[in-house]
């Protein structure tokens, strides 16, 4: 019997199983991780992606590390290595580091207990179940911001696949529907990795939503035509001043939303807010393989010798963000003050 089983991940107590997001929607394949190294590889290679899903995966990877090294004289040293290996996978989404810090702190608290494995496994499961709860709560808060009949534009994939379940920005859209509102969605394809076209459209279509796919360069024109009432995106890291790193292309959508007077919302749990990073300038931006740009999914479009730049994320300055939807409520500017208050409550 699985202890956790969602669309994106499963924890059996022995193995961590991930739906392989690299093959969706054409093939439904799974990757089974039995070691922390396999989890780290799955995060790096984007078998699993999306900030909260990466965080939860790292937590289960950490549990696999504890199981492997418990009882060995070099346990403490090995656990440092486990943490480092899991951390050295993707640099931008802060949920990864947040989850690893939490797991390490818990391990230190319980290191003299007899049932270390059971307790550390519980911590990972808590992270996972808290994520689902946070998403549902964000869905209720964010759902209030949408009106019956609205059409929302979203970027990247922020749904059940990007989280443990339900989703952040897609969670808000789901939350609005759960309130009885009819919400339509436009999904940007999200070049170069096509999370919007491959994952968001698949998820929303399966869930019965009226979803329309557009290529990224169509966003401005659909706004101009009056088709969009709100933009909602997720986040990989929100700095203390509200500057938000999210999938490359988010910044352009925010600029377009401002030009067209459309509210631009970010939906993210507290585990994505990094008060230790003062502004977006200090957020590390991952640069990924140039082949992601040279190829359109699996077809090569340009020769090797063409220079490529492939930042996987951009930063949307706080002044372009109408509100940040969290599980503790909807935060509006000034973000420097109001984000901090979330952690004081």
224 HSE (CA, 13 A, CB side): 7
Secondary element (H or E) of residue 295: strand 295-296
Interface of this chain with ligand MRU, residues 66 to 85, rule: CB under 6 A = none
| Whole-angstrom distance, CA of residue 103 vs CA of residue 62 | 7
How many residues can be counted in the chain? 345
Site string (206-245) toward ligand MRU, x via CB under 6 A? ----------------------------xxx---------
Please identify which of the residues 165, 188, 216, 236 carries the catalytic annotation: 236
Please, which residue, 116 or 156, has the CB nearer to ligand MRU? 156
Residue from 116, 127, 128, 162 touching ligand MRU (CB under 6 A): that is 162
Has 336 been labeled as part of a binding site? no
137 is a site residue for ligand MRU (CB under 6 A):
no
| Whole-angstrom distance, CA of residue 97 vs CA of residue 152 | 31
198 is a site residue for ligand MRU (CB under 6 A):
no
187 contacts 200 by C-beta, under 8 angstroms: yes
- Give, to the nearest 10 degrees, the angle between helix 116-143 and helix 51-69: 170
CA gyration radius for the chain? Answer: 20
| Whole-angstrom distance, CA of residue 115 vs CA of residue 70 | 11
Task: Catalogue the long-range contacts made by 285-294 (C-beta closer than 8 Å, 24 or more residues apart).
Answer: 285/91, 285/92, 285/245, 285/311, 285/312, 285/313, 285/314, 285/315, 286/90, 286/91, 286/92, 286/311, 286/312, 286/313, 287/311, 287/312, 288/193, 288/312, 292/192, 292/193, 293/191, 293/192
168 is a site residue for ligand MRU (CB under 6 A):
yes
Site string (266-305) toward ligand MRU, x via CB under 6 A? ----------------------------------------
| Choices 50-58, 61-69, 126-134, 314-322 (CB under 6 A): range interacting with ligand MRU | 50-58
Has 49 been labeled as part of a binding site? yes
Has 225 been labeled as part of a binding site? no
Residue from 40, 43, 51, 239 touching ligand MRU (CB under 6 A): that is 51
Which residue bears the tokens 């994106």? 8
Please, which residue, 120 or 324, has the CB nearer to ligand MRU? 324
160 is a site residue for ligand MRU (CB under 6 A):
no
Q: What is the DSSP letter of 58?
A: H
52 is a site residue for ligand MRU (CB under 6 A):
yes
Q: Which residue is nearest to ligand MRU (CB)?
A: 234
Catalytic residue at 236? yes
Bind-site residues for substrate: 49-51, 90, 195, 246-247
Binding-site annotation, residues: 49-51, 90, 195, 246-247
| Site residues, ligand MRU (CB under 6 A) | 49-52, 93, 156, 158, 162-163, 168, 195, 234-236, 246-247, 312
**Residues labelled catalytic:** 236
């Amino acid at each position: 019997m699985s202890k956790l089983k969602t669309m994106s991940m499963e924890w059996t107590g022995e193995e961590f199983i991930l739906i392989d997001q690299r093959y969706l929607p054409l093939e439904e394949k799974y990757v089974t991780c039995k070691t922390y190294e396999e989890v780290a590889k799955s995060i790096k290679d984007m078998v699993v992606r999306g900030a909260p899903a990466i965080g939860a995966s790292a937590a289960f990877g950490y549990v696999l590390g504890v199981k492997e090294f418990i009882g060995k004289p070099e346990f403490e040293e090995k656990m440092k290595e486990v943490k480092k290996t899991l951390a050295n996978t993707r640099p931008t989404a802060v949920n990864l580091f947040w989850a690893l810090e939490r797991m390490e702190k818990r391990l230190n608290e319980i290191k003299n207990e007899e049932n270390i494995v059971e307790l550390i496994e519980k911590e990972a499961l808590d992270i996972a179940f808290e994520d689902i709860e946070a998403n549902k709560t964000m869905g209720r808060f964010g759902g209030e911001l949408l009106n019956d009949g609205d059409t929302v534009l979203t970027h990247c994939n922020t749904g059940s696949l990007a989280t443990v379940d339900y989703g952040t920005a897609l969670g808000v859209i789901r939350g609005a529907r759960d309130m009885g509102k009819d919400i339509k969605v436009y999904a940007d394809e999200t070049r170069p990795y096509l999370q919007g076209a491959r994952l968001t459209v698949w998820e929303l279509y399966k869930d019965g939503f009226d979803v329309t796919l557009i290529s990224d360069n169509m966003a401005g024109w659909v706004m101009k035509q009056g088709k969009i009432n709100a933009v909602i995106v997720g986040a990989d890291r929100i700095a203390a001043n509200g500057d938000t790193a999210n999938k490359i292309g988010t910044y352009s959508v925010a600029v377009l939303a401002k030009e067209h007077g459309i509210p631009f919302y970010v939906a993210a749990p507290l585990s994505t807010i990094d008060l230790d990073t003062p502004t977006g300038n200090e957020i590390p931006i991952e640069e990924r393989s140039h082949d992601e740009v040279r190829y359109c999914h699996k077809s090569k479009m340009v020769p090797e010798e063409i220079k490529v730049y492939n930042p996987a994320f951009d930063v949307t300055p706080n002044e372009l963000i109408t509100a940040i939807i969290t599980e503790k409520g909807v935060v509006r500017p000034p973000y420097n003050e109001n984000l901090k208050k979330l952690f004081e409550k």
